[in-house]
Amino acid sequence: MPQPSNRKGGDGRLTAAIDPSDQGPQDACGVFGIWAPGEDVANLTYFGLYALQHRGQESAGIAVSNGRQILVYKDMGLVSQVFDESTLASLKGYVAIGHARYSTTGASTWQNAQPTFHPTASGSIALAHNGNLINTAELAEMAEEASAADELDLHLRMGTAATNDTAVVTALMARHPDTSLEERAIEVLASVKGAFSFVWMNDDTLFAARDPQGVRPLVLGRLERGWVVASEDAALATIGASVVREVEPGEMLVINENGLVSRRFAEPDPKGCVFEYVYLARPDATISGRGVHEARVEMGRQLAREFPVEADMVIPVPESALPAAAGYAEESGIPFGLGFVKNSYVGRTFIQPSQTLRQLGIRLKLNALDHMIRGKRIIVVDDSIVRGNTQRAQVRMLREAGALEVHVRISSPPVKWPCFYGIDFATRAELIANGLTIEEIRSSIGADSLGYLSLEGMVQSTGQASDRLCKACFTGDYPIPLPDESRLGKSLLETPLSSTQLPVLNNP
Give yes or no for a cis peptide into 246 (omega within 30° of 0): no
Same domain? For 317 and 414 the reply is: yes
* Mean pLDDT for all residues in the chain: 85
| Residue 456 neighbours by CB distance under 10 Å | 12
- 185: in domain: yes
Which of these is catalytic: 4, 22, 23, 29?
Answer: 29
Which pLDDT does position 20 carry in this prediction? 34
Does 498 count as an annotated binding residue?
A: no
How does pLDDT run across 258-283, given as a tens digit for each residue? 999 999 999 999 999 999 999 999 99
Note the pLDDT of residue 501. Answer: 32
In degrees rounded to 5, what are phi and psi of residue 349? -75, 130
CATH number of the domain residue 402 falls in: 3.40.50.2020
- Count up the domains in the chain and report the number: 2
SS3 label, residue 57: coil
Which residue type occupies 185? A
The predicted structure's pLDDT at residue 428: 85
In a domain, 471, yes or no: no
Tell me which residue range forms the domain holding 50.
Answer: 26-271
* Strand (E) or helix (H) holding 49: helix 41-51
Specify if 30 maps to a domain: yes
| 27 appears as a binding residue in the annotation | no
Say whether both 165 and 252 belong to one domain. Answer: yes
Residues 142 and 247 in one domain: yes
273 is in an annotated binding site: yes
Same domain (yes/no): 444, 311: yes
pLDDT of residue 344: 72
Is 29 annotated as catalytic?
A: yes
CATH classification of the domain holding 46:
3.60.20.10
Domain identity same for 92 and 241: yes
320 annotated as a binding-site residue = yes
Question: In this structure, are 212 and 313 located in the same domain?
Answer: no
Summarised one tens digit per residue, pLDDT across range 88-109 is: 999 999 999 999 977 555 455 6
pLDDT digits (tens, 9 = 90+) for 345-371: 665 433 344 555 555 555 677 889 999
124 is in an annotated binding site: no
Give the pLDDT confidence score for residue 443 in this predicted structure.
Answer: 97
Domain-ending residue, one of 217, 237, 271? 271
State whether 334 and 198 are in the same domain. no
pLDDT at 507: 34
473 annotated binding-site participant: yes
Average pLDDT estimate for 418-440: 88
pTM attached to this predicted model: 0.86
Q: How far apart are CA 356 and CA 360, in angstroms?
A: 6
CA-nearest of 67, 323, 23 to 201 is: 67
